[in-house]
Structure 1
Amino acid sequence: MSDTPAERLHRLFEGHRLTPAQRRIAHCMVRRPGEAPFLSSVELAELAGVSQPSVTRFAVALGFDGYPALRRHLREVAPGAAPDEDGGDSECNAYQQAVLGEIDNLRELAALLADPAPVERAGRLLAASRPLPVLGLRAASSQARGFAYFAAKVHPDVRLLDEGGSMLVDRLDAACRSGATALICFALPRHPREVVDALAHARELGLTVVTVADSTFAPVAAHSDVLIPAAVGTGLAFDTVCAPMLLGRVLLEAMFDELPDAPTRLEEFDAAAVARGLFAG
């Protein structure tokens, strides 16, 4: 199977120490692999929310003389279709464009999952950890909470860590003392420094860190053993996170497959729910 333009862009950026602004530029280009070779430095700066000089410094950081040289290289290694002269999606309103952007993110995730090995490895790690800490703060707290809710139906000991503060390290220590071997983290922009520090501490404790992040260039990457990216939508005032949510469900499925008694646990829950009249329909 040939590499996608996005995968070729990832390889171009890997191994470089990028500043936060440069990571935003790299992430923006990976999310738009077809457009990237045709964007001007001004257009790329606007899309990434950085200054035009930041784009120039980004190109130099990658080893190019400037952005024009980087763009020529992109047209060779990650060629895409030139922008539609007839307008294309520009006829859609902002709400429709946000939805279409999320559809693109899901397509990118589907392409990534063509190689199931990272997800399957993550599933084994999460299933084997007793207890299983699930970390997500601020914007990622809802993703962590949703994962923990469903994971608790089939995993015997799930511990949700969705609040920061001085107790966070204590709870990581307690999970490790209780036998935890792995941790799953949901990390979304803007990335709280507290999450980065917590993952660094988790690694010091010997925990294997599985991370769902918006990009392989996210600040948490340096403290993750398995990082699987799922892009967020940036077309609205607040980011949209359909792809990270779906990736969380995929990881749940992979974990489910590694727990022999998972089907029995689900059946027992369903029977108890019926007996209690838990659901209206």
Structure 2
Amino acid sequence: MVRGLLPSLTPAAARVASLIVEDPAQVARSTISELSALAGTSESSIVRTARALGFAGYPELRLALAASAARQAPRSTLSAGITQEDSAAEVIGKIVHTESQAVQETASQLDPAELDRAVRAVCGGGQLHIAGVGASSLVAQDLQQKLARIGRPCHAHGDSQSALTSAVLLGPGDVFLAVSHSGESRDVLEPLRRAAAEGATTVVITNHPLSTAARLADHVLVSAGRETTFRPGAMASRISQLVVVDCLFVCVAQRTFERSSRALRLTHEALEGDRPA
């Protein structure tokens, strides 16, 4: 959660948050004066940082960090970034570890109530348009393909012009879903604004819950991918975004069980019948 909020924090708060991300157990052990010295900031800035992160004050933040550190496994070499000297086996181990962490952290960040509200919107009878650029476009296409298989017509847009021209034609009852790791991509922000202005319900899948896209959206589904060496945000975000997509898809299929079951059966039979004997 702290990592996702980092880009939205002030420089002083970001220094405190960076220490939390690097070693939460050490911060949990530190008094406010000790943390002030470590972060090179004032004690009042630490209190403001704790409040920005959703806590009443620094003591509550320390308790949450101590509880979180107690639940986690000891830090291992797998948590370190990939180096130029790593063997293929070490690369495999670090990537699998990082992606497993992304899945677990996304599960802890994804709000079930917010997911349920997004599912209800997607299950409506209006148009559904999904937008994502770059690596996020692959996630948008994955969701579009999944929903199409259960009989929920929708469109995926991988460029800003296509997304924008579709967004201006939406209205109440329609849904515009944007996928953006940073939540600051101009290619999805303008279509998102226009869809909202036309009265459509807006949903965002993002790693940053205080981003511009998150502020514009009616419903925010938070993923938790992280960057490591040789793995920029575009790679780190994909696994966590796909976790959110799968949760959204399964909940939609549950909510429309009869239609979805029939559509899956028919599409499966069509594909089986198309295969050579």
Q: Normalising to structure 2: TM-score of the pair?
A: 0.71
Quote the Cα distance in structure 2 between the aligned partners of 1:117 and 1:247. Answer: 13
Which residue is equivalent to 1:137?
133
Query: What pairs with 1:31-42 in structure 2 (closer than 5 Å)?
Result: 34-35=24-25, 37=27
Quote the Cα distance in structure 1 between the aligned partners of 2:18 and 2:78. Answer: 22
Matched, 1:264 2:262: yes
Q: Does the C-alpha gap of structure 1 residues 74 and 125 become closer, same or farther in structure 2, counting only changes over 3 Å?
A: same
Letter in 2 for 1:148: Q
Q: Does the C-alpha gap of structure 1 residues 245 and 257 become closer, same or farther in structure 2, counting only changes over 3 Å?
A: same
Which residue is equivalent to 1:212?
205
Letter in 1 for 2:164: V
Task: State the 1:132 CA deviation.
Answer: 0.9
Which residue is equivalent to 1:45?
none
Q: Does the C-alpha gap of structure 1 residues 208 and 186 become closer, same or farther in structure 2, counting only changes over 3 Å?
A: same
Task: State the 1:111 CA deviation.
Answer: 2.9
Matched, 1:90 2:77: yes
Check whether the contact 1:98–1:233 (CA below 8 A) recurs between aligned residues. no
Letter in 2 for 1:169: L
Q: Does the C-alpha gap of structure 1 residues 151 and 29 become closer, same or farther in structure 2, counting only changes over 3 Å?
A: farther
Quote the Cα distance in structure 2 between the aligned partners of 1:226 and 1:61. Answer: 30
Report Cα offsets for 1:223-246 as digits up to 9, x if no partner: 111111111121133232212111
Which residue is equivalent to 2:112?
116
Q: Does the C-alpha gap of structure 1 residues 270 and 209 become closer, same or farther in structure 2, counting only changes over 3 Å?
A: same
Quote the Cα distance in structure 2 between the aligned partners of 1:26 and 1:162. Answer: 37
Q: Does the C-alpha gap of structure 1 residues 81 and 149 become closer, same or farther in structure 2, counting only changes over 3 Å?
A: closer
Quote the Cα distance in structure 1 between the aligned partners of 2:122 and 2:140. Answer: 14
Task: State the 1:131 CA deviation.
Answer: 1.8
Q: Normalising to structure 1: TM-score of the pair?
A: 0.70
Check whether the contact 2:8–2:211 (CA below 8 A) recurs between aligned residues. no
For 1:189, what is the secondary structure of its paired residue?
A: coil
Task: State the 1:141 CA deviation.
Answer: 0.7
Which residue is equivalent to 1:153?
149
Q: 2:62 aligns with which of 63, 71, 75?
A: 75
Report Cα offsets for 1:198-255 as digits up to 9, x if no partner: 2111110111111111121233111111111111121133232212111101101111
Q: Does the C-alpha gap of structure 1 residues 196 and 74 become closer, same or farther in structure 2, counting only changes over 3 Å?
A: same
Task: State the 1:130 CA deviation.
Answer: 2.4
State the number of aligned residues.
245
Matched, 1:171 2:158: no
Q: Does the C-alpha gap of structure 1 residues 144 and 224 become closer, same or farther in structure 2, counting only changes over 3 Å?
A: same
- Which ranges in structure 2 are unaligned for 5 or more consecutive residues? 31-37, 50-56, 83-90
Q: 1:234 aligns with which of 202, 227, 251?
A: 227
For 1:152, what is the secondary structure of its paired residue?
A: helix
Check whether the contact 1:23–1:218 (CA below 8 A) recurs between aligned residues. no
Q: Does the C-alpha gap of structure 1 residues 277 and 223 become closer, same or farther in structure 2, counting only changes over 3 Å?
A: same
Letter in 2 for 1:75: R
Letter in 2 for 1:78: L
- Which ranges in structure 1 are unaligned for 5 or more consecutive residues? 1-5, 41-51, 65-69
For 2:126, what is the secondary structure of its paired residue?
A: coil
Check whether the contact 2:137–2:158 (CA below 8 A) recurs between aligned residues. yes
Task: State the 1:21 CA deviation.
Answer: 6.8
Check whether the contact 1:31–1:231 (CA below 8 A) recurs between aligned residues. no
> Which structure's residues are more often helix, by fraction?
2
Instruction: Give the percent of matched residue pairs that are identical in Structure 1 and Structure 2.
Output: 15
